[in-house]
Every structure is written in structure tokens, then in C-alpha cells.
């Protein structure tokens, strides 16, 4: 007999934060591995390139978080004490 499962299109806010943070950490780790492999073959690295790449990384990471945060529907505050 086939079973039907409901799949929610919503996440609890803490779960959403964890998923975003874990995804960013995985991307950062993968980028670190690629960069480490490349830099292990270099004798020096341009300070300007390091600073530029770091700034781009910061802007895109924070930018993605801001886009996600702005797209969230706010729930009206309900007082626990009535």
C-alpha cells in the first residue's frame, strides 16, 4: 500500500538559521581547501588580491543573509501573558 507524506514548504526560524549557517560553512570549507591547494604552490600572494577576495566573500555572504532576512514573513507578536 502506498503511503502519502505531506512535505511542508515552511521551516522553523532556528532550523532556517542552522541550514543557512551550515551551508555557508560547507562553502567556506570547500573554498578553503581549494585555496590551500593553490596557495601551497605559490611563493607570495598579492595583498590587494587577498583583501579584494575577502571583501567580495564578506559582501556576498552578508548580502545573501540580508536577502533571506528581508524575505521572511514576520509573525505578529503574541504575548504569552494575557
At 26-78, the pLDDT tens digits run 999 999 999 999 999 999 999 999 999 999 999 999 999 999 999 987 777 66
| CA distance linking residue 77 with residue 80, whole number of Å | 9
Residue 3: its pLDDT value, please? Answer: 79
Residue 58: its pLDDT value, please? Answer: 95
User: Is the separation of the CB atoms in 61 and 24 below 8 Å?
Assistant: yes
Average pLDDT over residues 2-20: 84
Give the up-direction half-sphere exposure of residue 12: CA atoms within 13 A in the CB hemisphere: 3
Residue 80: its pLDDT value, please? Answer: 60
Assign 81 to helix, strand or coil.
coil
Amino acid at each position: 500500500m502506498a503511503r502519502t507524506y505531506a512535505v511542508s514548504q515552511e521551516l522553523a526560524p532556528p532550523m532556517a538559521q542552522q541550514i543557512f549557517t551550515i551551508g555557508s560553512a560547507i562553502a567556506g570549507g570547500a573554498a578553503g581547501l581549494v585555496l590551500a591547494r593553490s596557495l601551497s604552490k605559490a611563493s607570495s600572494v598579492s595583498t590587494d588580491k587577498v583583501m579584494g577576495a575577502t571583501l567580495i566573500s564578506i559582501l556576498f555572504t552578508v548580502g545573501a543573509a540580508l536577502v533571506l532576512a528581508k524575505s521572511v514573513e514576520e509573525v505578529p507578536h503574541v504575548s504569552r501573558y494575557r
